[in-house]
Structure 1
Amino acid sequence: MTKILQVKDLELSFHTFAGEVKAIRGVNFDLIKGETLAIVGESGSGKSVTTKSIMRLLPQSSAEYKNGEILFEGKDLTKVSEKTMQKIRGKDISMIFQDPMTSLNPTMTIGKQIMEPILKHQKLSKSKALEQTINLLNLVGIPNAESRYKMYPHQFSGGQRQRIVIAIALACNPKILIADEPTTALDVTIQAQILELMKEIQKKIDTSIIFITHDLGVVANVADRVAVMYGGKIVEIGTVDEIFYNPQHPYTWGLLSSMPSMDLADQKLYAIPGTPPDLLNPPKGDAFALRSEYAMKIDMERQPPFFKVSDTHYAATWLLHPQAPEVEPPAVIIERMKTFPGSRYYVEQTGGNA
């Protein structure tokens, strides 16, 4: 498996009037060529800041890379010049933002906006760039592309505008596509269409995707692996099945328990108590400890390291320490874990037999 991107020990702060906000606190992950990695967590957990730091889109006046590396094709993106980053942005690494209406220039036709990165990075003639623009509009499912490329953003529906934003991001066949909650502003029907479109395009151009979302239902449909973020750190990472059906961190239990389910229609929806930590003064120990009913004394004093659950699954919780007491996850999580071969509940139920 080829690692196309490696984020190592990334620490990033924002300098504000109130003080230093330690937004990213030692984040590590790899992106494998051709995979979709979803990063999930509550608002303020550090998902978007992490991905914008890869693109170097954070304000230079307040954001500071304190430590770590972001390695792409042998280059540390935290140290390359802005001129080098301008060559990488849009060509090798592209980003789809949350709100298509604010991502598009209302004074320019959509054709010109799609052609812009093509002309900048591929040095094609205008006629060739136009031909590629129409091909891209057809690829993302805009009908009558040959005539509609002359239209303005306000003349399209919300779902079509998001397709146009995707076309701009794909204009140079990027090696990495970062999608920052690209379906949040859309209704569920259009959302499903956009997600299906992204999966189809990924197969066609063999790109790697980092998908940012707080919607775990979306994750189940698009991701190969999932990283769960909380308080500026990744607290659990594994394959989509491992995170959904054998979660190990209390925060992941809380996120999954708060998902609406048709099977639990009569039950009250769970809500994680408390609020995310203040990263002006990050907690000394586990950032989730004050909100967790499973917290131990050591959680208040020391940050947990990553414990290995499997070759692809790691979680940063003291509950996985050999000397930790055995605790029972919420009932809804236990029911999920009973269906996952290798979880202790599956083994207890079946004796380890499929």
Structure 2
Amino acid sequence: MSENLLEVKNLKINFKTYAGIVQAVRGVNFEVKQGETLCIVGESGSGKSVTSNALMKLIPQPPGIYAEGQILFDGRDLVPMTEKEMTKIRGNEIAMIFQDPMTALNPTMRIGKQIMEVILKHKKNTSKAEAKKRAIELIDQVGIPFPEQRFKQYPHEFSGGMRQRIVIAIALAAEPKLLIADEPTTALDVTIQAQIIELMKEIQRTSNTAIIFITHDLGVVANIADRVAVMYAGQIVEYGTANEIFYNPKHPYTWGLLGSMPDLDNNADELLRTIPGSPPDLIHPPVGDAFAARNEFAMQIDYEQDPPMFQVSDSHFAKTWLLHPDAPHVPVPEAVLKRIEGYIQKNKEAGIDLGKVGE
């Protein structure tokens, strides 16, 4: 059996619409090992959430179509599984944390009962008393004080950050092997975001749960990822360890994402970089590199041929013609280098030496 808990191979997801077929996910490949955190990052519309929902077989069919590929979880391909087979996996072996905790929680049911429901459903031969004890333990584990009292309360009695902690407790209730978190910190302020990120890191340390973390925020990625997949227009355009993506980025889209991150230490007069243009229409994907129209370094070949994944190292790959041996050397833009070097300096101040840019 593979050492990977999850392997996604050439996954293609389409949607039938009145305007035509939307090619939302176009040949995605990645893997996740037990106890590892993979962050999938990209702009809105890049295919991140469609990919995460596809892993749980939550794409409604129709209009969704699993056009091609495999989703191998613990050696089993989830794509051909029936809804009945998937209900045994969802919540039990793979759990999901959604972006908005209020839509994930039942407003008419006490918090404790919602957690108990998951335990009783997935952990057979568990008594109600045992389920209640475990639910209180989970409320405590996710950092909510006075868990016995909180057990009896309703979602509206909790703050946004505490509701998200309860959603995490529900996701952990059946002790899943894989946790998918779809932008779980987007609706929270930065202080609560940091607490939720720290909580998820603690969960990973104590339970060895694999995590797929979907986000558009590279600041979040820096704090939690082991590996990073950068998505654009339904494809993974760069893939590597967190250090490789942050300190040796190779794809112009990754440069754009890094350069457009706000930095509180920046001079107030310094303009925030942006990526010009917008993602392409995936009903009619462009010929060649999908990022070419927004890429200031695009060459003629970018408009004619889709680049392959070039290997940078054993763990680092990027889908750009700039890595072809015959391509001109294009250095990382100076503004992006400054931003990256700022991250390195902050890590050094925290006692972590991550080397030099490009190493």
Distance 1:162 1:337 in 2: 31
The Cα of 1:337 is off from its aligned counterpart by 6.8
Can you give the 5+ residue segments of structure 1 that lack an aligned partner in the other structure?
347-354
Aligned to 1:119: 120
Distance 1:308 1:333 in 2: 22
Given candidates 301, 306, 319, the residue that maps to 1:303 is 306
For the 8 Å contact 1:246–1:337, the answer to whether it is kept is no
Aligned to 1:273: 276
Aligned to 1:61: 62
**Residue identity matched to 2:40:** I
Aligned to 1:351: none
Residue 204 of structure 1 pairs with residue 167 of structure 2:
no
Residue 230 of structure 1 pairs with residue 232 of structure 2:
yes
The Cα of 1:83 is off from its aligned counterpart by 1.0
The Cα of 1:155 is off from its aligned counterpart by 0.7
For the 8 Å contact 2:111–2:155, the answer to whether it is kept is yes
What secondary structure is seen at the aligned counterpart in 2 of 1:209? strand
Q: 1:263 to 1:130 in 2, by over 3 A?
A: closer
What's the Cα RMSD here?
A: 1.5
Distance 1:80 1:29 in 2: 20
Aligned to 2:37: 36
Q: Which moved more, 1:301-310 or 1:143-152?
A: 143-152
Distance 2:154 2:264 in 1: 41
**Residue identity matched to 1:245:** Y
The Cα of 1:26 is off from its aligned counterpart by 0.3
Distance 1:150 1:325 in 2: 64
Distance 1:84 1:35 in 2: 26
For the 8 Å contact 1:244–1:336, the answer to whether it is kept is no
> CA offsets, 1:264-323, max 9 Å, x none?
323210010001010010111111000001111111111110111111100000000000
Q: Which moved more, 1:213-222 or 1:144-153?
A: 144-153
Distance 2:37 2:248 in 1: 20
Q: 1:263 to 1:191 in 2, by over 3 A?
A: closer
The Cα of 1:58 is off from its aligned counterpart by 1.3
Residue 132 of structure 1 pairs with residue 134 of structure 2:
yes
Given candidates 147, 150, 161, the residue that maps to 1:159 is 161
1:309-320 correspondence to structure 2 within 5 Å: 309-320=312-323
| Number of aligned positions between the proteins | 345
Q: 1:336 to 1:155 in 2, by over 3 A?
A: closer
> CA offsets, 1:111-151, max 9 Å, x none?
11111111111021111111111110110112111122111
**Residue identity matched to 2:225:** A
> CA offsets, 1:163-219, max 9 Å, x none?
000000000111000001101111111111111111111111110000000010011
**Residue identity matched to 1:150:** K
1:252-271 correspondence to structure 2 within 5 Å: 252-265=254-267, 266-271=269-274
Can you give the 5+ residue segments of structure 2 that lack an aligned partner in the other structure?
345-353
What secondary structure is seen at the aligned counterpart in 1 of 2:312? strand
Residue 17 of structure 1 pairs with residue 13 of structure 2:
no
What secondary structure is seen at the aligned counterpart in 2 of 1:107? coil
Q: Which moved more, 1:113-122 or 1:258-267?
A: 258-267
Aligned to 2:175: 173
The Cα of 1:333 is off from its aligned counterpart by 2.8
Distance 1:58 1:113 in 2: 24
Aligned to 1:251: 253
Q: 1:200 to 1:341 in 2, by over 3 A?
A: closer
Aligned to 1:2: 3
Distance 1:9 1:307 in 2: 16
**Residue identity matched to 1:326:** H
The Cα of 1:336 is off from its aligned counterpart by 6.1
The sequence identity of aligned pairs, in percent, is 64
Distance 1:308 1:174 in 2: 33
Distance 1:337 1:101 in 2: 36
The Cα of 1:82 is off from its aligned counterpart by 1.0
Distance 2:11 2:68 in 1: 6
What secondary structure is seen at the aligned counterpart in 1 of 2:25? strand
Q: Which moved more, 1:290-299 or 1:141-150?
A: 141-150
What secondary structure is seen at the aligned counterpart in 1 of 2:239? strand
What secondary structure is seen at the aligned counterpart in 2 of 1:141? coil
What secondary structure is seen at the aligned counterpart in 2 of 1:52? helix
The Cα of 1:28 is off from its aligned counterpart by 0.2
Residue 213 of structure 1 pairs with residue 240 of structure 2:
no
What secondary structure is seen at the aligned counterpart in 1 of 2:195? helix
For the 8 Å contact 1:47–1:229, the answer to whether it is kept is yes
**Residue identity matched to 1:268:** L
Aligned to 1:87: 88
What secondary structure is seen at the aligned counterpart in 2 of 1:264? coil
What secondary structure is seen at the aligned counterpart in 2 of 1:276? coil
Aligned to 1:349: none
**Residue identity matched to 2:7:** Q
> CA offsets, 1:58-108, max 9 Å, x none?
112210000000001121111111111000000100000001111111111
Distance 2:356 2:302 in 1: 27
